[in-house]
Amino acid sequence: MIQLQAGRMRCELNPELGGCITGLWLDGEPVLRATPAAQLSTARLSSCYALVPFSNRIGHASLVWQGTQHPLVRNNGDEPHAIHGVGWQRPWSVLDEDPASAMLSYEHAADASWPFAFDCSHTLRLKPDALEMTLALTNQSPQPAPAGLGWHPFFVKRPGSRIAFHATGRWEMGNDKLPTGRSQSRGIDAVCAGVDVDHCYDGWDGAVRLKDDVLRVNVRSGLTRLVVFTNPSKQFVAIEPVSHVNNAVQLVASGASAADLGLATLQPGETMMAQMTIEVEAAR
């Protein structure tokens, strides 16, 4: 475990468990959910983890890229898809750390879960009022490779929590949790208790406001797509800045525009980066 401290903010990391964040607090008040250590068997139960080298799902764990089909590992129990990349299920190394920052690294050799070699660094800097995160992914494969980045944080949903953000479109989901098409959307401005959503929004302006009687949280990113997941049975709101639309690689293989969906193609040795900041202040 790594403990970061900056003024009133505290953050815990577990490099071995998918490089995940296991807690983020302001004056002891949880900003992100904190699963007890004895129950934290997977990064999926953590506070936040990186989405590397793709976000959300690749339908039926089948990657078609440049005319070649690559069967992938179905990596989430009985679910038929490949989900959230591979970084969340692999141990990360610690390249550097000090009392308020850490740099983690994951080096991926081509395997059944992802057929393209890459390396990824995750830099986390804690400030007295914010957590700043930067991901950098480099294609180490000898051929061009699809790539995407993002984060999957789980924010505490307190009574009266309200979420607000602006977007221009929303990708509708079928019963198989894959996108069926895009519709116009202005985003969300609503009390979280009544929100039932598991969608990717595009045309996102890079800001989300989450507020309740305890904390005011702003999520900021240079990414322009956002996955939001919660429903009345959940005690969290997942607010996920991502670089591409869900199942983008299959949509591109079917003829959609990679640029419109945000799917990157990295040449050998090429790097892509993403940034996210969680700003926190007490409500009173």
Tell me, what CATH number does 115's domain have? 2.70.98.10
Which ranges in the chain belong to alpha helices (H)? 248-253, 258-261
- The CA distance from 29 to 215, in Å, is 8
pLDDT value of position 37:
86
Angstrom distance (rounded) from CA 161 to CA 192: 6
Among candidate residues 172, 178, 175, the one with its CA nearest the CA of residue 202: 172
Both tokens assigned to 154: 């789980």
Q: Is the peptide bond before 53 cis (omega within 30 degrees of 0)?
A: yes
Please, are residues 132 and 284 in contact by the beta-carbon 8 Å criterion? no
Q: Which amino acid makes up residue 39?
A: Q
Q: Could you please report the per-residue DSSP string of 55-113?
A: -SEEGGGEEEETTEEEE----STT-SSEESBSGGGS--EEEEEETTEEEEEEEE---SS
Which residue type occupies 169? G
Q: What is the pLDDT of residue 38?
A: 87
Predicted local distance difference test score (pLDDT) of residue 39: 92
pLDDT of residue 108: 98
DSSP at 45:
G
Radius of gyration of the chain (CA): 18
| pLDDT averaged per 10 residues in sequence order, the chain, 284 residues | 97 98 97 92 97 97 94 95 98 97 98 98 98 98 98 97 98 94 97 96 98 98 98 97 97 95 98 98 90
Confidence (pLDDT) at 5 = 98
* Residue-level pLDDT at 202: 98
Q: What residue numbers bound the domain in which 58 lies?
A: 2-282
Count of structural domains within the chain: 1
- pTM of the full predicted structure? 0.97
- Tally Cβ neighbours within 10 Å of residue 233: 6
HSE-up (13 A, CA, CB side) for residue 73? 13
Count of CB atoms within 10 A of residue 123's CB? 17
